[in-house]
Amino acid sequence: MKVLTSEEMAKIDSLTIEKYGIPSLVLMEKAALSVSKHLIDLGVNKLIILAGPGNNGGDGIAVGRILKNIDTKIYQLFSDDKLSNDCKLQIGIAEKFKIPIFKRYPTEKELSEADVILDAIFGTGLKRKIEGKLEKLVNLLNSLKKTVIAVDIPSGISSDTGEILGCAIKANSTVTFGLPKRGHFLFPGRDYTGKLCIEDIGFPEELTESEELKVSLISRKFVCSLIPSRPLYSHKGTYGHVLVIAGSVGKTGAAFMCAKSALRAGSGLVTMAMPSVLNVVFHSKVLEEMILPLPSNKKTLSKRAIDEIAEFINEKADVVAFGPGVGINEDTEEILKFLITNCPRPLVIDADGITLLVKNIKLLKKNKAETIITPHPGELSRMINLSVKEIERNRIEIAQKVANEMNTTIVLKGVPTIISDPLGNTFINTTGNPGMATGGSGDVLTGIISSFIGQGLNAFHASVLGVYIHGLSGDIASKYKGYHGLIAGDLIEHIPQAIKEITDEMDK
For the stretch 77-87, pLDDT in tens is 999 999 999 99
pLDDT band at 33 (very low <50, low <70, confident <90, very high): very high
SS3 410: strand
203: nearest Cα among 176, 229, 172, 177 = 177
Residues 214 and 189: beta-carbon distance below 8 Å: no
Instruction: Looking at 293-376, list the stretches that DSSP marks H as alpha helix, in order from N- to C-terminal side.
Output: 306-315, 330-342, 352-357
Q: Is 59 exposed, middle or buried (0-12, 13-18, 19+ CB in 10 A)?
A: buried
**Amino acid in position 146:** K
pLDDT surpassing 90 at residue 507: no
Pairing of strands 46-51, 71-76: parallel
End-to-end Cα distance, the chain: 22
The predicted-structure confidence for 106-164, as pLDDT tens digits, reads as follows 999 999 999 999 999 999 999 999 999 999 999 999 999 999 999 999 999 999 999 99
Handedness of CA 471, 476, 481, 487 (dihedral sign): negative
List pLDDT tens digits, range 425-462: 999 999 999 999 999 999 999 999 999 999 999 999 99
SS3 content of the chain, % helix, strand, coil (to 5): 50, 15, 35
CB atoms within 10 A of CB 11: 16
Give how far the C-alpha of residue 323 lies from the chain's centroid of Cα atoms, to the nearest Å.
24
pLDDT of 40 over the 80 cut:
yes
Provide the 3-class DSSP secondary structure of residue 77. Answer: coil
Angle at 127 (CA atoms; ends 125, 129), nearest 5 degrees = 130
Residues 231-259 have a mean pLDDT of 97
Distance between CA atoms of residues 447 and 255, nearest Å: 9
pLDDT of residue 246: 98
Cα distance between residue 362 and residue 365, in whole Å: 6
Q: Is the dihedral of CA 278, 283, 285, 287 positive or negative?
A: positive
User: Tens digits of per-residue pLDDT, 329-350?
Assistant: 999 999 999 999 999 999 999 9
d(CA 284, CA 404): 43
Residue 81 makes CB contacts below 8 A (sequence gap 6+) with: none
Element at 32 (helix H, strand E): helix 24-42
Judged against a pLDDT cut of 90, whether residue 508 lies above it is answered with: no
190-200 per-position pLDDT tens digit: 999 999 999 99
Confidence of residue 38 (pLDDT cuts 50, 70, 90): very high
* HSE, side-chain direction, 13 A CA sphere, residue 380: 26
Read off the pLDDT band of 473 (50, 70, 90).
Answer: very high
For 459, residues 6+ apart whose C-beta sits below 8 A from its C-beta are: 346, 370, 371, 372, 409, 421, 453
> What is the three-class DSSP state of 42?
helix
Q: CATH for 6-213?
A: 3.40.50.10260
* Range list of H helices, 43-83: 55-66
Fold of 233-371+427-507: UDP-N-acetylmuramoyl-L-alanine:D-glutamate ligase (3.40.1190)
The predicted pLDDT at position 28 comes to: 98
What are the tens digits of pLDDT across the range 310-324? 999 999 999 999 999
Domain ranges in the chain are: 6-213, 233-371+427-507
- Check: CB of residue 24 under 8 Å from CB of residue 59: no
d(CA 249, CA 338): 22
Which residues are 242's β-sheet partners? Answer: 270, 319
Q: Could you tell me the CA-to-CA distances from 341 to 303, 325, 338 in Å, in that order? A: 15, 22, 5
Bridge partners for 120 per DSSP? 51
- For residue range 264-315, list pLDDT tens digits in order: 999 999 999 999 999 999 999 999 999 999 999 999 999 999 999 999 999 9
Closest-CA residue to 472 (of 264, 269, 318): 264
| Whether 336 contacts 349, CB under 8 Å | yes
3-class SS of residue 298: coil
Amino acid of residue 86: D
Q: How many CB atoms lie within 10 A of CB 98?
A: 8
Q: Please tell me whether the peptide bond between 377 and the residue prior to it is cis, using omega within 30 degrees of 0.
A: no
Pick the closest to residue 87 from 32, 10, 20 (CA basis). Answer: 32
pLDDT at 506: 86
Q: How far apart (Å, rounded) are the C-alpha atoms in residues 367 and 407?
A: 8
- Burial of residue 165 (CB within 10 Å: 0-12, 13-18, 19+) is middle
